[in-house]
């Protein structure tokens, strides 16, 4: 058996009400002065109270940086670091609360607080140190960033989406609470849902796949394949939302410990140059790239189709692979994803 290296947050609390246990988690970790990193919508919608209320009740003093934006940039990260450094007291941790963008911003802030410029940490450099530990609290089921060792930050001068990778980007802990997703709009449910399936599928067909990542990817594809349409059609369906949240987290762990592939490689420049949201650009590309790649990893794609419920157990690999492509195209139509053509 080949050697396997596996990385994940130290603590993961997954399930209904997990976000309300933020104060207990901080106490368990010996942390007491958090900076919450979030976005304007989390503030205006009142969603932020899911974590500020238990912190206040526990007597924990906190501050909030809420200027994050979709597809975060180096300028926003620098603004967050300046907010930290100019605060009246020092923080001992960060709490990333929201979708992928606030959590990715918090990751980059923790890394950049140690000095340097964001470009200094882009791949192939390794960002293995963070000045502050991060607790991630996702409010969407898709990015998986709550459990990955990656963040993606746009260079505003070049429009390059810089991949930052290393243990410095891996949260210390994650609170994965599906109840936070009940109010997620259909468009975001669709885009993040397809994004999470893409994570699982690409991790599964990756040449860097391991027994660990395969187990997580298989489970994620089962959950997402069975529940994405229902979560989109019935946003208050607890079973569907819980399955999607768990599947997204498993998919994040899978690709963080294997890799993504061509879909993500092509989606980054689309996002950078045309400002298409990351999940949507993945969804637009997934059927076409799966068709292009099918015969190079046919047994894996066929198994993925069966796991997701898109093909029958006794379908031949070629038929199962074709059904995978057809079902991905059907999903995109159902979820109102535009085609790239």
Domains of the chain: 11-180 (3.40.50.1970), 186-334 (1.20.1090.10)
CA dist 318 → 167, 209, 294, 314, 340 (Å)? 39, 22, 9, 12, 25
Task: Give pLDDT tens digits for 86-100.
Answer: 998 899 999 999 999
| Cα–Cα distance, 15 to 142 (Å, whole number) | 16
Q: Helices marked H in 113-174 — which ranges?
A: none
| Cα–Cα distance, 228 to 263 (Å, whole number) | 19
pLDDT of residue 275: 77
Burial 169-206 (b: 16+ CB within 10 A, else e): bbbbbbbbbbbbbeebeeebbbbbbbbbbbbbbbbbbb
Provide mean pLDDT across the span 156-172.
94
Q: Comparing C-alpha atoms, which of 296, 335, 303 is closest to residue 317?
A: 303
Using CA atoms of 187, 137, 258, 301 in order, give the dihedral in degrees to the nearest 10: -30
Task: Give pLDDT tens digits for 31-81.
Answer: 999 999 999 999 999 999 999 999 999 999 999 999 999 999 999 999 999
Residues in contact with 273: Cβ distance below 8 Å, sequence separation at least 6, in sequence order: 159
- Give residue 326's pLDDT band: very low, low, confident or very high (50, 70, 90): very high
Strands (E) in the chain, as ranges, are 11-14, 34-37, 63-65, 93-98, 134-138, 150-155, 160-165, 173-176
As given in the structure block, the two tokens for residue 129 are 């140190």
Task: Give pLDDT tens digits for 270-304.
Answer: 877 777 888 889 999 999 999 999 999 999 999 99
CA dist 234 → 3, 228, 241 (Å)? 43, 10, 9
pLDDT > 70? residue 340: no
pLDDT of residue 108: 97
Residues in contact with 263: Cβ distance below 8 Å, sequence separation at least 6, in sequence order: 198, 202, 282, 285, 286, 289
Residues in contact with 162: Cβ distance below 8 Å, sequence separation at least 6, in sequence order: 74, 118, 119, 121, 122, 123, 152, 153, 154, 155
- Give residue 267's pLDDT band: very low, low, confident or very high (50, 70, 90): confident
pLDDT > 90? residue 1: no
């Amino acid at each position: 058996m080949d050697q396997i290296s596996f990385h994940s947050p130290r603590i993961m609390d997954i399930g209904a009400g997990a976000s309300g246990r933020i104060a207990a988690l901080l106490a368990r970790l010996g942390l007491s002065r958090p900076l919450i990193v979030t976005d304007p919508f989390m503030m205006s919608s009142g969603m932020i109270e899911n974590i500020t209320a238990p912190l206040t009740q526990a007597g924990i003093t906190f501050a909030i940086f809420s200027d994050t934006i979709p597809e975060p940039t180096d300028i926003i990260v620098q603004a967050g670091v300046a907010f930290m450094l100019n605060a009246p007291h020092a923080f001992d941790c960060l709490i990333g609360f929201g979708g992928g963008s606030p959590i990715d911003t918090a990751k980059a802030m923790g890394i950049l607080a140690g000095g340097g410029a964001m470009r200094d940490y882009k791949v192939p450099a390794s960002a293995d140190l963070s000045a502050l530990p991060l607790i991630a609290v996702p409010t969407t089921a898709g990015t998986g960033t709550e459990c990955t060792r990656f963040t993606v930050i746009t260079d505003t001068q070049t429009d390059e989406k810089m991949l930052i990778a290393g243990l410095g980007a891996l949260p210390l802990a994650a609170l994965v609470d599906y109840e936070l997703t009940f109010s997620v709009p259909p468009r975001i449910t669709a885009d993040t849902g397809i994004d999470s399936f893409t994570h699982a599928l690409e991790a599964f067909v990756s040449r860097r796949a391991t027994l660990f990542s395969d187990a997580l990817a298989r489970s994620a594809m089962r959950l997402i394949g069975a529940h994405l349409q229902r979560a989109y059609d019935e946003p208050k369906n607890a079973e569907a939302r819980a399955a999607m949240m768990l599947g997204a987290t498993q998919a994040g762990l899978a690709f963080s410990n294997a890799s993504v592939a061509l879909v993500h490689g092509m989606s980054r420049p689309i996002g950078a140059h045309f400002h298409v949201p990351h999940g949507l650009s993945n969804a637009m590309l997934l059927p076409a790239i799966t068709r292009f790649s099918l015969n190079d990893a046919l047994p894996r794609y066929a198994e993925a189709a069966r796991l997701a419920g898109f093909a029958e157990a006794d379908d031949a690999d070629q038929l199962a692979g074709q059904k995978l492509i057809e079902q991905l195209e059907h999903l995109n139509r159902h979820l109102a994803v535009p085609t790239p053509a």
